[in-house]
Amino acid sequence: MTWAVKHRGVWKAATVILTAVFIFCTEGSVVQAQTVQTQEESLFTEEEKALIEREGTLKVGYVRDRKPVSFRGEDGELAGISRSIFDRIAQISGLHFEYVELPAGEVTYDYLVREGFDLVTGVEYNDENKAARGILISEPYLSSRKVIVAREGLVNIGEDAEYTVAISTGSQTIKKVLARQYPNFVPVDYDTIEDCLDAVNRGEADLMLQNQYVVEYWLYKPSYSSLMVIPMTEFADRLCFSAVTPLEKDNGEWEEKRVLISVIDKAIAQISYAEVAGYVIAATTDNMYQYSISDFVYQYRYTVILLGVAVALLCGMVYVTLHFRIRSIKAQADAKAKGDFLSAMSHEIRTPLNGLISLNYLMAQNVDDREKISGYLQQSSTVAQYLLSLVNNVLDMSKLQQSRLELEQKPVDLELLLETIESVEKDGMRESGISFCVETGLSCPGIMGDAVRIQQVLLNLLDNARKYTKPGGSVTVKADQTETEEGAVLTKIQVLDTGQGMSEEFQKKIFSPFTQERNTVSQGNQGTGLGLSVCHLLAERMGGSLTVESRLHEGSCFTFAFPAQPASSAGGEETDNDNEESDGLLCVKPHILIAEDNELNGQILTELLEGEGYEVLHVENGRKAVEAFAASAVGKYGVILMDLLMPEMNGFEAARAIRGLERPDAGTVKIFASTANTFQEDRDKAFQSGMDDFIAKPINIRELLKKLQFQDGAEKMATGNDNKGNDNKVCK
């Protein structure tokens, strides 16, 4: 064997065409077509003519995946060199063919008989097939060469060489030829021609043996650029028809198939070498390998890689630029938001502070005018309450935005809660000349929830409704409930007013912090602009919603909806301290021990309580509080007001130390946390240290006095843990 130079491009196509011409000009003796009969002569015998007349459409099986020799065309029919030759045979003989693609894998005799195939094409014309039982083969209709495909660098192919050879299905008889001429070659089966080429290309197989026309078609694929073609002069590739016959020859059907093959042979003999060469040239040029996107990428892979790297770098640069730009924009937005917040806070705080400072000045100027002083004090109290509301709203907003606010889940009697709200609001509504009513249709008044926060939302909504409704208008609360699919209860409470209403534009931002719409009704009504934002976040925290519908000059409707689980006995639990055990009953007004490191706060609180008839001792830190209590007579102190953050010993440590003293009243004395730290974790820590209640600074004196009230000199104080965190709760 000799090595051949690898073919590529147009030169490769020209080689195929020249090879076809050369084969048909030099190997004409292979095809049994020594003379071409003239049309005047009779081509077929009477027996053959009768067969042609009897035969209908013959079912012909063809081997797929043999482009350009035989393959399935775009119309689903057989196409290629073979189809052109078969159409010419049908024209000459008068036979009719139906072409059916054979399946992948080795096609057996039983399969051909079972499926009713009359003929099979693409069969190799060799001694093995001539001698095979069950088939009759025709003379070759197409002759070419078999070639070997190998990777570049293969040194020697000889009879003693040991190589694995990739064989595609439909070429199984070549195994017998290899076994006879190259016994050291090991054939390996693959489904398709492309699978065989891939195996050789990646080194899984050493060689591939296949028809030259087929190989030349596939080697245009760029990924096979490292493969080369080696001609094998001893291997001619001659393709013929085979007729599927009975296994035994003494059969009428076998004789009929012999006559059919004779007709086909005579038709083949009528096709000139020039005609076949024309079919080869036409099929080769019309069915060149079609480049795919993957082929393009492979062929220009280095360019694609460089382009990809460049694009990746560009994208990276764009990403980094955008990242820093976005961070810069976000930082600017955060700075603006903080600036806006601080500006709003400054305005909201400075305005009432200015009022307080001015009122103090006026009180100093009119110290002898009792009537003016009384008015100034009332105004100061209003401003102070506003400041406290602002601080509480800011803290609630912060905790809600950070998801740090914990909601209690305790039994709540909604009917009782609404009655309480009605009793609290009706006097203010009446004084404002507003009609007020509460309509309820509750199917499940007992639910699990946080009564304080529900009340906070409703009171805020009612306060807004009162402020923005003119005298003669009305405010209505409507409450109803429905069951959800999960077995919970959806409570919907609406607050409707006939007030000024609001514009559509303002409704879009009404729940944003520090937002108020200025109109003739709202002017003069002081507010932080945080209340509705807090309520909106509280509603979402409860798993519900707060929405608004409003028309300017017609009124508004706020809808507060939230889901909750039914309580087995809402309001049935003993939440009132009047039902507690009577361990801590005092028969006289208790002495009060105040632990407060701020001298002014301690002095004010001492004077306030002494003015109410209590005996008070003020100490500066927790250590002195423990020492004072330990040195006192048993039962002397009934209440300790304990600041939490103090020097030497904080309030938590002091409470634990007092509870640990070995004296009868160490466990019964009431310890109230008195602090500006109002977060839930501070409350929890206070109760864990042994404290009984929590009073937030600034202290609401009326609420404190309620906790210290006695009836007939023997009523116990309302100080149970059920009141934890309820310092803002409105009591009936």
pLDDT above 60: residue 298: yes
Cβ(390)–Cβ(348) under 8 Å? yes
Integer-rounded Cα Rg, in Å, for the chain is 51
pLDDT above 50: residue 574: no
pLDDT digits (tens, 9 = 90+) for 25-70: 444 434 433 344 434 347 899 999 999 988 889 999 988 778 888 8
pLDDT average, residue stretch 266-290:
85
pLDDT greater at residue 427 or residue 6: 427
Chain-centroid distance, C-alpha 448: 33
C-alpha distances (whole Å) from 99 to each of 77, 123, 319, 507 are: 7, 15, 58, 75
pLDDT above 90 covers a percentage of the chain that reads: 22
| Cα distance between residue 664 and residue 158, in whole Å | 112
Phi first, then psi: give them for residue 442, nearest 5 degrees: -90, 120
CATH code of the domain in which 25 resides: 3.40.190.290
- The strand pair at 670-675 and 693-696 is best described as parallel
Average pLDDT, the chain: 78
422: confidence class by pLDDT, cuts 50, 70, 90: confident
* Residue 1 lies inside a defined structural domain of this protein: no
pLDDT digits (tens, 9 = 90+) for 221-268: 888 888 888 877 667 788 889 998 888 777 788 888 999 999 999 999
CATH code of the domain in which 686 resides: 3.40.50.2300
Residue that is written with structure tokens 């595609």 in the block? 168
Is the same domain home to 457 and 604? no
The sign of the dihedral angle between the CA atoms of 234, 240, 243, 244 is positive
Is the same domain home to 506 and 616? no
Which of 629, 630, 683 has the alpha carbon at shortest distance from 652?
683
* Residue 229 lies inside a defined structural domain of this protein: yes
- The pLDDT, as a whole number, for residue 3 is 39
pLDDT average, residue stretch 626-641:
92
299: confidence class by pLDDT, cuts 50, 70, 90: low
Phi first, then psi: give them for residue 452, nearest 5 degrees: -65, -45
Where on the phi/psi map is residue 276: left (φ > 0), alpha (ψ -120 to 50), or beta? alpha
| Cα distance between residue 221 and residue 212, in whole Å | 15
Of 292-301, 673-682, 685-694, highest mean pLDDT: 685-694
| Cα distance between residue 695 and residue 592, in whole Å | 15
pLDDT average, residue stretch 637-646:
91
Which residues make Cβ contacts (< 8 Å) with residue 354, sequence separation at least 6?
none
Length of the chain: 732
pLDDT above 70 covers a percentage of the chain that reads: 76
Q: Which range (474-483, 547-556, 577-586) has the least confidence?
A: 577-586
CATH code of the domain in which 531 resides: 3.30.565.10
* Residue 288 lies inside a defined structural domain of this protein: yes
pLDDT above 50: residue 6: no
pLDDT above 80: residue 490: yes
pLDDT average, residue stretch 440-456:
89
Longest Cα–Cα distance of the chain, Å, equals: 151
pLDDT average, residue stretch 372-378:
82
- The pLDDT, as a whole number, for residue 346 is 63
- The strand pair at 119-124 and 227-244 is best described as antiparallel
- The pLDDT, as a whole number, for residue 658 is 94
pLDDT digits (tens, 9 = 90+) for 128-142: 788 888 889 999 998
Here the tokens at position 221 are: 């694929």
Which residues make Cβ contacts (< 8 Å) with residue 489, sequence separation at least 6?
443, 444, 447, 481, 482, 483, 563, 564, 565, 566
Which of 20, 638, 516 has the alpha carbon at shortest distance from 280?
20
* Residue 692 lies inside a defined structural domain of this protein: yes
pLDDT above 60: residue 203: yes
Phi first, then psi: give them for residue 238, nearest 5 degrees: -110, 125
Is the same domain home to 524 and 604? no
Cβ(171)–Cβ(190) under 8 Å? no
Residue 96's SS3 state is strand
Rounded to a whole number, what is the distance in angstroms from the first to the last CA of the chain? 113
Cβ(228)–Cβ(7) under 8 Å? no
- The pLDDT, as a whole number, for residue 170 is 57
DSSP track, 54-70: H--EEEEEE-SSBTTTB
pLDDT greater at residue 560 or residue 171: 560
Here the tokens at position 380 are: 């100061």
State how many domains the chain has.
Answer: 4
Here the tokens at position 135 are: 């088939």
In one-letter notation, the amino acid at residue 72 is: R
| Cα distance between residue 442 and residue 417, in whole Å | 12
The last residue of one of the domains, among 267, 298, 329, is 298
C-alpha distances (whole Å) from 371 to each of 362, 364, 379, 611 are: 12, 14, 13, 21
- The pLDDT, as a whole number, for residue 87 is 93
- The pLDDT, as a whole number, for residue 398 is 63
DSSP track, 598-653: -HHHHHHHHHHHHHTT--EEEESSHHHHHHHHHHSPTTSEEEEEE-SS-SSS-HHH
- The pLDDT, as a whole number, for residue 390 is 64
Is the same domain home to 77 and 189? yes
Phi first, then psi: give them for residue 661, nearest 5 degrees: -70, 145
Which residues make Cβ contacts (< 8 Å) with residue 336, sequence separation at least 6?
none
Cβ(112)–Cβ(73) under 8 Å? no
- CA dihedral defined by 361, 343, 546, 407, rounded to 10 degrees? -80
| Cα distance between residue 684 and residue 9, in whole Å | 85
Cis peptide upstream of residue 698 (ω within 30 degrees of 0): yes
- The pLDDT, as a whole number, for residue 37 is 42
| Cα distance between residue 134 and residue 291, in whole Å | 42
Is the same domain home to 450 and 507? yes
Where on the phi/psi map is residue 610: left (φ > 0), alpha (ψ -120 to 50), or beta? alpha
- The pLDDT, as a whole number, for residue 578 is 41
Is the same domain home to 341 and 461? no
Which of 605, 591, 610, 615 has the alpha carbon at shortest distance from 700?
605
* Residue 732 lies inside a defined structural domain of this protein: no
Q: Which range (70-84, 278-292, 459-473, 637-651) has the least confidence?
A: 278-292
Beta bridge partners of 436: 475
| Eight-class DSSP state of 185 | -
Domain that holds residue 332: 303-399
Angle at which helices 81-93 and 252-269 cross, to 10° = 110
Is the same domain home to 24 and 157? yes
The last residue of one of the domains, among 283, 298, 313, is 298
pLDDT average, residue stretch 567-588:
45
* Residue 728 lies inside a defined structural domain of this protein: no
pTM of the model: 0.41
* Residue 394 lies inside a defined structural domain of this protein: yes
* Residue 729 lies inside a defined structural domain of this protein: no
Of 4-8, 432-436, 602-606, highest mean pLDDT: 432-436
Is the same domain home to 621 and 496? no
Q: Which range (47-61, 193-207, 516-530) has the least confidence?
A: 516-530
Is the same domain home to 465 and 594? no
pLDDT above 90: residue 725: no
227-254: buried (b, 16+ CB within 10 Å) or exposed (e) per residue? bbbbbbeebbbbbbbbbbbeeeeeeeeb
Residue 193 half-sphere exposure, CB side, CA atoms within 13 Å? 24
Here the tokens at position 334 are: 């955060």
Is the same domain home to 533 and 644? no
pLDDT digits (tens, 9 = 90+) for 492-520: 999 999 998 888 888 888 887 655 554 44
Cβ(146)–Cβ(167) under 8 Å? no
pLDDT average, residue stretch 450-477:
89
Is the same domain home to 452 and 473? yes
pLDDT average, residue stretch 638-643:
92
The last residue of one of the domains, among 342, 371, 399, is 399
Phi first, then psi: give them for residue 559, nearest 5 degrees: -115, 120
Is the same domain home to 355 and 462? no
